[in-house]
Structure 1
């Protein structure tokens, strides 16, 4: 990170590291970064090669070009020398979220394999007991994946399936995406109104009325 980016980071509320792996659901990662920036947080983004391919298929965008328009510092997964690879850097952050988190990335973290910047950074967060959130989108989960998720959980990480609820009366896909992003912010202890929290919800049957 250059000096200008470091200065901008200090001027903001805090820094959150976001990893985007090659799982389906790249829109979750994109929305999380946009919302954090809008809320005044600095984001450092780690992109996997597979994430770029998925973004083109699912969203029709070039991720690198997309992030050029945002106030984020972006790293490639093979930039193993980047700041997030050091525990001395991440101790100053609010946490790390891998969203979406692929089964491959989960497996590497669970078994201590630091093959790239994404898994290495996540392992650093576990080492220093900082918030690490893995937003798993794959389904179904087999025994091996469940064991790996348990390993990460026991090591201090948070396993958060991308499983949107319906009690907040979602009207469209945007509402479902915001539910997951809102849950991520909740875990980071960042106040948000992206979805109606349970104590302010009036449940109705709108989602059920929309199916045949």
Structure 2
């Protein structure tokens, strides 16, 4: 009977841990993508661990007129600055027990660091852990145009199984406002982690 209880508890713990997702918000334009992702994951009942860069805080203030940390605190109790290299996500054992990681938006600098194995901060180090443990990693890059260096870095990661997703809103959904376009990008990123949702209208032919 005891062994059965242990087995049941172990199964429950594994199920709970797979509800954990890591969200990175770097210093590219489009911090609203990251915020909206966190909002949806919160509604879906996920445990969200968020890593933000100093540049992301500045971009959020500039683009949205908000304090990024204060905004994210509404949806998660786990918020880290990328300088907190000692935080839990820095361990590969943390990535193993997580469903996946999305960096949204992902700056070209962050892309370059990950592609070249530079784990100098919590954001890039955590992403490298996901690659090491063969867990799902999605990079929603937000830059245009893309030069040869950026494309080579993206290709290098794609060959390792990393999902490279440009923040390119679709128009077949007939968006009525900016929110529809934001939700499309967020929904596509969640699709890549295998998360069920109805955030955007899917193509039906």
TM-score normalised to structure 1 length: 0.87
Q: Which residue of 2 aligns with 1:85?
A: 90
Q: Which residue of 1 aligns with 2:68?
A: 63
Q: 1:60 to 1:10 in 2, by over 3 A?
A: farther
Report how many residues are paired: 192
Answering whether residue 57 of structure 2 is matched by residue 52 of structure 1, we say yes
Q: CA RMSD in A?
A: 1.5
- 1:119 to partner: Cα distance: 0.3
- 1:11 to partner: Cα distance: 5.5
Q: Which residue of 1 aligns with 2:111?
A: 106
Tell me if the contact between 2:92 and 2:133 (Cα under 8 Å) persists in the aligned partners.
yes
- Structure 2 unaligned segments of length 5 or more: list them: 1-13
Q: 1:118 to 1:168 in 2, by over 3 A?
A: same
From 19, 23, 28, give the equivalent of 1:23.
28
Answering whether residue 161 of structure 2 is matched by residue 156 of structure 1, we say yes
Q: Which residue of 2 aligns with 1:4?
A: none
Distance 2:17 2:172 in 1: 33
Answering whether residue 129 of structure 2 is matched by residue 116 of structure 1, we say no
1:196 partner SS? coil
Q: Which residue of 2 aligns with 1:135?
A: 140
Q: Which residue of 2 aligns with 1:38?
A: 43
Answering whether residue 173 of structure 2 is matched by residue 168 of structure 1, we say yes
From 147, 155, 162, give the equivalent of 2:152.
147
Distance 1:196 1:57 in 2: 30
Tell me if the contact between 1:97 and 1:132 (Cα under 8 Å) persists in the aligned partners.
yes
Q: Which residue of 1 aligns with 2:9?
A: none
- Structure 1 unaligned segments of length 5 or more: list them: 1-8, 202-212
- 1:35 to partner: Cα distance: 0.3
